[in-house]
Amino acid sequence: MKTWFALLLSAASLCAQSPQQESIVVTGTAEPIPLAEADRDVSSVRVPEEQRPLYDSWFDLLNLDPSLDLQVRAPGGFMADLSIRGATFGQTLVLLNGMRLDSVQTGHFNLDLPIPMEMVSGMEVLKGSGSTLYGSDAIGGVVNVLAGPIDHNEFRLLGAGGNFGFNEQHTLASFGEGIWREELAASRDFSSGFMPDRDYRNLSLSSLSLLKSRLGSGSLLLAYSDKPYGADQFYGPYPSWERIKTWLLAAHQNLGERTEASFEYRRHTDLFVLFRDDPQIYTNRHIEDTWQGDLRRHDNLPLHGVISYGLEGLSEAIHSTNLGIHSRTRGSAYVFYDLRSVRRFSFSAGVREEVYGAHSVDTSPSLSGAAWLSSKFKLRAAVSRAFRLPSFTDLYYSDPSNQGNPNLKPESATSYEAGLDGYLRPGVHAAVTVFQRRDKNVIDYVAPPGSTVYTATNFDNLHFMGVESGVTWDASSGEHFGVVFSALRGLNASPEIEQSKYTFNYPVESGVVEWRGMIRRKIIARTRIGVVDRLDRNPYAIWDASASYATGAVRPFLQLTNITSTVYQDLPGIAMPKRGVVGGCEFYLFGGR
């Protein structure tokens, strides 16, 4: 294992001089700012149009950062748990264009993105507590998936096939001009499975409309997805089957230059069958409805200051054969002050008051700052507090293996971090961050000695500390090379948590080497090697690669996953496939670049 990490770190020596490419981020900040000016640990990945056939799903973007522990149950871009800096899967907040996707039923569905990969333009990740700006669930961090429009007219089709009975068909159309643009996308992915009861089918349909008016620019996103899949061993030693559907409506409108309003409605349904061949033994049906509305404003203050403030409302309800009928509403107000002088210093402070339940209130403050020590080095630090309300599954669920607990308390955490960024040469960025998070009332499932039933339980104290480091090189030719490494340690004051179900499945060390770029100005390619060493488990390495023609009306592509056929499990007891091969072609009927 040490040899793998030595190779990862030594690869940084390949970085060479090239012009710096500036990236603008919107996550974890009051207003959009250059990534180099962020005083929190924020990462950004953009996916140009010609690179999208290189990625099997948006999960491939998450795998580029070893601080993001993606614990996958199956390929295909669904049913995975995401942990950031050792936080549980329920402690990661997922956004789509700044609007919440987290499931009130269970955190297992937080990554259920209802749009096709063709509509994903990138992803931003805020590591560490983010409740000041985003509310509940942002204990470990925030993942903001960006669905951006294409700025020119085009129509393209994609078809592919591969082993494990895999085939896919995708399409995207972009049209309109002036004050109106429209983007339509559809995808269908199917696999007969790499083993019995691991088949799946993913269907996604979406529409993104952009309109400019006297009020300002606005957008309307409509999306639908339908994902049935074999769930053998997913929730215990059972040959299960599950089907999840999502309906999403998200609207955003600028009201002048400094005020914006957003609205979202999301319905998520879950049909779960414990024994696929005999549904009468145990079947659950869940219907989840979520309504969200936001009103935000930004005002300039003297001395380069900006004050942002807003109101948010959230209503969550579930109708379930197992959980029963439950609902809850939350309201919050926040204020965030940001002061910055470009390439000199920055300072940010904010607080959110969130009201929920029977007049319960949670306060989430944050404080961060950065100072440029020279033209090449920036020092940053942050402290913040976050919280999470128990999901309805945590509170009320019951099956032969798991038992909820209606007396659970909300989780809370205080995070500390400090980091140093080095812009060593144009295009070369090195960074190191050390962090600590102190959790209280952590929720996990514990089976007492001699019992096979896991019960949701609060734990008094759990501390995580770690370090993240990396070097990236962005060349003028469009090539990108990155080497990143993460180490993590968990300390607990509750001995019984050692028998818990999810908390101690984190990677103690992980690293990623990635390259992407052009070959002879016609072929775009990428490759990634990821190494994971989980607590009390054997380390493993996964190597993926893909390539595609980047020009012309006909663009064949090839995707290779787990090239070395590594035998591994992200989650104990859930096998993952060996080498995957997918080949296909993308057709530009008109448009394209």
3-state per-residue secondary structure call for 255-294 = CCCCEEEEEEEEEEEEEEECCCCCCCCCEEEEEEEEEEEE
pLDDT of the residue at 19: 33
Rounded Cα–Cα distance for residues 108 and 90 (Å): 7
Structure-token pair, residue 450? 């001699």
Closest C-alpha to 387, from 134, 97, 84, 111:
134
Amino acid at 53: P
Structure-token pair, residue 92? 């990661």
Would strands 141-146 and 154-162 be described as parallel, antiparallel, or unpaired? unpaired
Query: What would you measure as the largest C-alpha separation in the chain, in angstroms?
Result: 68
Instruction: Answer left, alpha or beta for residue 8, where phi above 0 means left and psi between -120 and 50 means alpha.
Output: alpha
pTM value is 0.93
Residues 469, 431 contacting (CB under 8 angstroms): yes
Count: domains in the chain: 1
Reduce the DSSP state of residue 543 to 3 states and report it. Answer: strand
Quickly count: other Cβ atoms within 10 Å of residue 91's Cβ.
Answer: 29
The residue with tokens 């306060």 is: 363
Amino acid at 11: A
Reduce the DSSP state of residue 392 to 3 states and report it. Answer: helix
Tell me which residue range forms the domain holding 338. Answer: 2-590
Structure-token pair, residue 563? 């090239």
Secondary structure of the chain: what % helix, strand, coil (to 5)?
10, 60, 35
Would strands 92-96 and 141-146 be described as parallel, antiparallel, or unpaired? parallel
Partners of 300 in beta bridges: 306
Positive or negative CA dihedral for 75, 76, 81, 85? positive
Residues 362, 374 contacting (CB under 8 angstroms): no
Closest C-alpha to 86, from 592, 534, 541:
534
> What ranges make up the beta strands (E) of 233-376?
239-254, 259-273, 283-301, 305-320, 324-341, 345-356, 360-372
Residues 415, 384 contacting (CB under 8 angstroms): yes
Cα torsion 209, 214, 215, 217 to 10°: value is: 30
Instruction: Answer left, alpha or beta for residue 324, where phi above 0 means left and psi between -120 and 50 means alpha.
Output: left
pLDDT of the residue at 497: 63
pLDDT of the residue at 496: 62
Cα torsion 95, 98, 99, 102 to 10°: value is: 20
DSSP secondary structure letters along 86-117: T--GGGEEEEETTEE---SS-GGGTT---S-G
Q: What number of residues does the chain have? A: 593
Closest C-alpha to 84, from 145, 137, 133, 149:
137
Rounded Cα–Cα distance for residues 568 and 563 (Å): 13
Q: What is the CATH number of the domain that holds 235?
A: 2.40.170.20
Per-residue burial over 207-240, b if 16 or more Cβ lie within 10 Å, else e, is bbbbbeeeeeebbbbbbbbbbbbbbbbbbeebbb
Per-residue burial over 340-378, b if 16 or more Cβ lie within 10 Å, else e, is beeeeebbbebbbebebeeeeebebbbbbbbebeeeeeb
Structure-token pair, residue 393? 């599954």
pLDDT of the residue at 16: 32
Quickly count: other Cβ atoms within 10 Å of residue 573's Cβ.
Answer: 9
Q: Report, in angstroms and rounded to the nearest whole number, the Rg of the chain calculated over CA atoms.
A: 23
Would strands 523-534 and 92-96 be described as parallel, antiparallel, or unpaired? unpaired
What is the SS3 string spanning 62-84? HCCCCCEEEEEEECCCEEEEEEE
Closest C-alpha to 231, from 244, 214, 218:
244
pLDDT of the residue at 140: 93
Per-residue pLDDT tens, the chain, 593 aa: give them: 443 333 333 333 333 333 334 678 888 887 888 989 999 999 998 888 888 999 989 999 999 998 899 998 887 777 899 999 999 889 999 999 999 999 999 989 999 999 999 999 999 999 999 999 999 999 999 999 999 878 889 999 999 999 999 999 999 999 998 899 999 999 999 999 999 999 999 999 999 999 999 999 999 999 999 999 999 999 888 999 999 999 999 999 999 999 999 999 999 999 999 999 999 999 999 999 999 999 999 999 988 899 999 999 999 999 999 999 999 999 999 999 999 998 899 999 999 999 998 778 999 999 999 999 999 999 999 999 999 999 999 999 988 778 999 999 999 999 999 999 999 988 899 999 999 999 999 999 888 877 788 899 998 888 999 999 999 998 877 789 999 999 999 887 555 666 778 888 899 999 999 999 998 889 999 999 999 999 888 999 999 999 999 999 999 999 999 999 999 999 888 999 999 999 999 999 987 66
Rounded Cα–Cα distance for residues 99 and 251 (Å): 10
Cα torsion 492, 494, 498, 503 to 10°: value is: -60
CB-based contacts of 19, cutoff 8 Å, min separation 6: 426, 427, 475, 476
Closest C-alpha to 57, from 126, 95, 111:
111
Rounded Cα–Cα distance for residues 380 and 305 (Å): 18
CA angle 545, 549, 550 (to 5 degrees): 110
Residues 104, 290 contacting (CB under 8 angstroms): yes
